[in-house]
Amino acid sequence: MTGTLPALEQGSLPRGADLLHDPALNKGTAFPMEERDAFGLHGLLPPRVCTQDEQVERVMDNFRKQPNDLAKYVQLIALQDRNETLFYRVLLDNLEEMLPIIYTPTVGQACQEYGHIFRRSRGIFISSRDRGRMKEILRLWPVRDIRMIVVTDGERILGLGDLGANGMGIPVGKLSLYTACAGVNPRLTLPVTLDVGTDNDPLRGDPLYLGLDQRRIRGEEYDALVDEFVWAVQEVFPGAVIQFEDFANANAFPILERYRDRVCTFNDDIQGTAGVSLAGIYSALRITGQYLTDQRVLFLGGGAAGIGVADLVVSALEHEGVCPERARQCCWLVDSKGLVVQSRTDLNERKQRYAHDHPFCPDLLSAVRSLRPNAIIGVSGKPGMFTREVVEAMAEINERPIIFSLSNPTSKTECTAVDAYGWTRGRAVFASGSPFDPVTLDGKRFVPGQGNNAYIFPGVGLGLIACGAQRVTNEMFFVAAKTLAHEVTEADLEQGCIFPSLTRIRDVSAAIAKKVVEVARDAGVAGRPVPEDIESLVRAQMYRPVYRSYV
């Protein structure tokens, strides 16, 4: 089974300092005396044997003394580098406190300063100079049984833009969430960065930048590099899922379309964001008392995320019996040039699907006033775009306006929780991409939901691994959204929170994984027989960060 490592023979383990330097095997001060005797560890460790609980206490004491979030991030990554089991135990025990550090928003700053805080290489860097020897490079990875790969080319890191090779922080962070949130064994995961250069001139001018000092390759040369990578993975790590992450819009959709029916792959920015957004809409409708078929949703942002969410909303409406044309009429886009309508001549094929017959509106506020949407969803990466006028206009139109400000990190959010609740006198159903503290207004406490993809992609990935899926289908993200929404309790909704507590995320991920396996089985894309007890199959895959006995 993939949830636990294979049994280790005592003679196969490294000894002495080599054992202490292997993060997958190291227990640090928790090595008991019999293992210190067996593996030559006496003198290499302090004499007192500590429990894992005591180690967690020491880590958290130091963590909370750090002067800022970046320092906390560096401390956690250093822990991951020396004691992987303890790292995941700390994460799992303190996920609400840790998630903003190991992922958004702090990971954005970590990527920006990657070359300055670099300690130890994690994952595989493949550069455009490595054409023709991709398989050779992948085979250098010491683990052969890889089931989940997260790969980026660093061109669109969160809302921060082109960070080149510094983007490696994203695959590393995402895979940490796979383990913490869904129990995917860390030994089965591999972060990859395709370094094709960067068009970020200040970054290339930084003497501590670790990537190629060249502008990005484009066109056929770029496509050939990605193609070689995808097919090299099929040979070196057959059966591995490839998750594409933070690719620019111009590449994200074509890559997904090129490979989605040929290998087991998905794009989290397109499909994961869509899943968590649709789940948020379903939960919000439990508060507003309305139906999805009655909604008009206006997206700020016409890129991969916006169109990905719109596509999944359309799929959900089709499941409810709405014809495709009518379903698309429920989704509208505002991009950098204004409302996407039929009269515009500057639209690509993907935007044209949502170009409706309507007078052009030059900005979001005029679009809100003209269309009178029930929900606005921000995926623009442009901060402050949900202005007071926009939010107040939504509150004039709707008794309970749905306002999702999903761009991250926090510096890129379309509006804050304080603004959304304050400008609507507490009537907004609000969610954000980055975390915000609870807001008290007129004596009532509101807990803003974080529409974090971590609610979706770890569970989807766990399900794909559990059944050895050969393909990833759109229906998997639809059922993931429905399952996530179902996990929101009435107590959550009473506080205005439309996502479940992070303390329950492993159970949520297991429920999503179960549904994904069912879809894979029914669609005929499961790579191995699926037993009747799918929940037991899923649970058997889930890694637990506890120390193993070596003697």
Active-site positions read 103, 174
Cα separation, 340 vs 417, in Å, equals 27
Cα 238 to Cα 426: distance, rounded to the nearest angstrom: 51
Cis check: omega of the bond before 409, within 30 degrees of 0: yes
| Under 8 Å between Cβ of 50 and 106 | no
What's the rounded Cα separation, in Å, for the pair 409 and 380? 12
In angstroms, the CA 254 to CA 26 distance is 42
**Cβ-based burial of 495 (10 A; exposed 0-12, middle 13-18, buried ≥19):** middle
- In order, the DSSP letters of 366-435 are HHHHHH--SEEEE-SS-TT-S-HHHHHHHHHH-SS-EEEE--SSGGG-SS-HHHHHHHTTT--EEEESS-
CA atoms within 13 A on the CB side of 298: 28
List CB contacts of 53: < 8 A, sequence separation 6 or more. Answer: none
Strands 402-405 and 241-244: unpaired
In angstroms and rounded to an integer, the radius of gyration of the C-alpha atoms of the chain is 24
The letter for the amino acid at 201 is: D
Both tokens assigned to 169: 């922080």
Question: Pairing relation of β-strands 439-441 and 338-339?
Answer: unpaired
Q: What are phi and psi of 338, to 5 degrees?
A: 125, -165
Question: Residue 103: how many CB atoms within 10 A of its CB?
Answer: 27
Distance CA 117, CA 198 (A): 19
**Closest by CA position to 522, among listed 456, 459, 478:** 478
Helices (H), 83-149: 84-93, 95-102, 106-112, 114-117, 134-138
The answer to whether residues 299 and 313 touch, using CB atoms and an 8 Å cutoff, is no
Distance separating alpha carbons of residues 200 and 251, to the nearest angstrom:
17
Residue 161's contacts (CB-CB under 8 Å, 6 or more residues apart) are 155, 200
